[in-house]
Chain A
């Protein structure tokens, strides 16, 4: 099937991306708080476009080994794993414990959450966060961070602020927000510019920013960073609305005005 108009020309002609979004638009974000009812702790399912991440939080609880515990604050035990079908294109059975990128994602997630959660309130304890990536269409780390934030909120663990994440990138001098897998993959033989960024939106501080590609100048870096922060703020509004809705539902259920059916999207 050949078309006279190549998809790559779409961006320059009509200022639209390959899935029809404008450059500064984020993908459809759906949040579901507490999908796994009956789970001790909290859980959240976040879908950014087609990327789906499920986070389960347990804790604060005892540390497994006395040598792990810290006397003045809690430790975060973070694990990121991917379902066999959650790997982008083909189905690949990879051992979650040894996949380097998942281990790295867990490390970044831990650093981001350590800056957000009020760990000093629970000394000598452990908070366990497990993120399961169910589908990967780009922005896996950001979906994981957003899911972890919502799961921590669902579990009632005290935090300084939401920790929201969004990617930003560059395509021929246009900054893009919330890249999907096709935009993240390298084009023209050069690695694509992808900057996942996590921030605390109400405080305006950046918790995580990471870029592994070459940028033309520091001004470009500032632009991409600013675009990422704008994307994060857009994500924050949606997350905050979802959390408020969940809280009102729970409150009215407790008062007896409503009953919660087992929720699914």
Chain B
């Protein structure tokens, strides 16, 4: 089933699961702080270098597959499309980035349509709140201040969410898709034509934007390598000892019996101390205040693990990094 379908576990199943977590052995044998390996597909051919990204008609795309024990899988497809627009008056030097998460394949029984709406909006609002400002440098999206800027639309499609951990998976997919996005090089044609003598006022018909069709001049949006990574820490409450257990990368069963979840967006670039960009708590449990530093510390600790626990299927170096090195040499 796609996401939005809450698993219902009996009380004894929940007890079994939580007791297992207390003994540091989860349902699939992992430890509490172990994360599963996921696969990112950014290119369709596995061997040759002329594979194409999953969605050719988008500026960037990535597909993420997280499968646990072979029978359940979380499957995410992310597409990045770029268009030129007029920047807003309040921020004339910045472009815009919108993140939209969709779960079209969710079981849409007409009986609980309202609940489905809420579930859909929940994932969408969490991800866009956590990530929208922390992904790329918006000022680099500006072409001409006050007149033209890029509008980047990131669309995430949840194809299957049975292995849990949807929000983490969406964020990784968004990051991978943005790293593979190529922004076309756009120059105002008046600057090109007049060689600095008299510039026509921008916006008049003679100063349209000119698109450089040379692919090697296209660039990835800057700042994506320093983008925030979202880590979801699942908190389970063990009634027997009145203790709280923290889990990373929860499966669907663990999410069904958890007390609450805390989604932390961590900015961990090399050379500086990791900083927390955003934090959001979901779930019905009330979190004790003293637990919060532990949760954030765990999230920060998990970031290097997350960054290294995926394997990229397809060409191991994305095209953008190849192009960057070529541009540097020139």
* Residues of A in contact with B (beta carbons under 8 Å apart): 1, 35-40, 50, 52, 54, 56, 64, 79, 81, 83-85, 90-91, 93, 96, 130, 132, 134-137, 260, 262, 264-265
Residues of B58-80 at the interface with A, using a CB-CB cut-off of 8 Å, are 58, 63, 65, 67, 70-73, 75, 77, 79
Most buried by A among B57, B67, B79, B159: B57
| Given A85-B155, A91-B153, A135-B56; A36-B73 close (CB under 8 Å) | yes
B88: interface (CB < 8 Å) = no
- Give chain A nearest CB distance to B150 CB in angstroms: 13
A132 in contact with B105 (CB, 8 Å): yes
Which residues in A have their C-beta under 8 angstroms from that of B162? Answer: 38-39
Which of B54, B79, B83 has a CB less than 8 Å from the CB of A90? B83
| Given A91-B81, A91-B153, A262-B73; A36-B58 close (CB under 8 Å) | no
- Give chain B nearest CB distance to A214 CB in angstroms: 30
Which residues in B have their C-beta under 8 angstroms from that of A130? Answer: 104-105
Please report the C-alpha to C-alpha distance between residue A39 and residue B70 in the assembled complex, in whole angstroms: 12
Which of A40, A56, A64, A93 has a CB less than 8 Å from the CB of B100? A93
- Give chain B nearest CB distance to A167 CB in angstroms: 18
A37 in contact with B83 (CB, 8 Å): no
Q: Identify the 10 closest CB pairs spanning chains A and B, nearest first.
A: A85-B79, A262-B67, A36-B160, A38-B72, A91-B81, A84-B155, A85-B155, A38-B71, A81-B104, A91-B153
Residues of B177-222 at the interface with A, using a CB-CB cut-off of 8 Å, are 213
- Give chain B nearest CB distance to A184 CB in angstroms: 15
Please report the C-alpha to C-alpha distance between residue A128 and residue B155 in the assembled complex, in whole angstroms: 25
Please report the C-alpha to C-alpha distance between residue A115 and residue B189 in the assembled complex, in whole angstroms: 57
Which residues in B have their C-beta under 8 angstroms from that of A134? Answer: 55, 77, 157
A91 in contact with B160 (CB, 8 Å): no
Contacts A38-B72, A130-B104 supplied; 9 other A-B pairs, CB < 8 Å: A35-B75, A38-B67, A39-B162, A84-B100, A84-B153, A132-B159, A135-B58, A262-B70, A264-B313
Please report the C-alpha to C-alpha distance between residue A37 and residue B161 in the assembled complex, in whole angstroms: 11
- What does the 1/0 interface line of B76-116 toward A look like (CB < 8 Å)? 01010101000000000000000010101100111100000
B39 in contact with A132 (CB, 8 Å): no
**Subset of 14 A-B contacts with CB under 8 Å:** A37-B72, A38-B72, A39-B162, A52-B55, A64-B109, A83-B102, A84-B102, A85-B55, A91-B83, A130-B105, A132-B157, A134-B77, A135-B56, A265-B41
Most buried by B among A40, A96, A137, A265: A265
Which residues in B have their C-beta under 8 angstroms from that of A262? Answer: 39, 65, 67, 70, 73
Number of interface residues of B (CB under 8 A): 38
| Given A56-B105, A84-B100; A265-B67 close (CB under 8 Å) | no
Closest to A58 in B: B107
A85 in contact with B58 (CB, 8 Å): yes
Closest to A30 in B: B44
Which residues in A have their C-beta under 8 angstroms from that of B55? Answer: 52, 85, 134-135
Which residues in B have their C-beta under 8 angstroms from that of A85? Answer: 55, 57-58, 79, 81, 153, 155
Which residues in B have their C-beta under 8 angstroms from that of A52? Answer: 55
Closest to B160 in A: A36
Please report the C-alpha to C-alpha distance between residue A122 and residue B44 in the assembled complex, in whole angstroms: 39
Closest to B107 in A: A58
Closest to B44 in A: A265
Please report the C-alpha to C-alpha distance between residue A53 and residue B77 in the assembled complex, in whole angstroms: 13
Residues of B301-325 at the interface with A, using a CB-CB cut-off of 8 Å, are 313
| Given A36-B160, A132-B104; A83-B79 close (CB under 8 Å) | yes
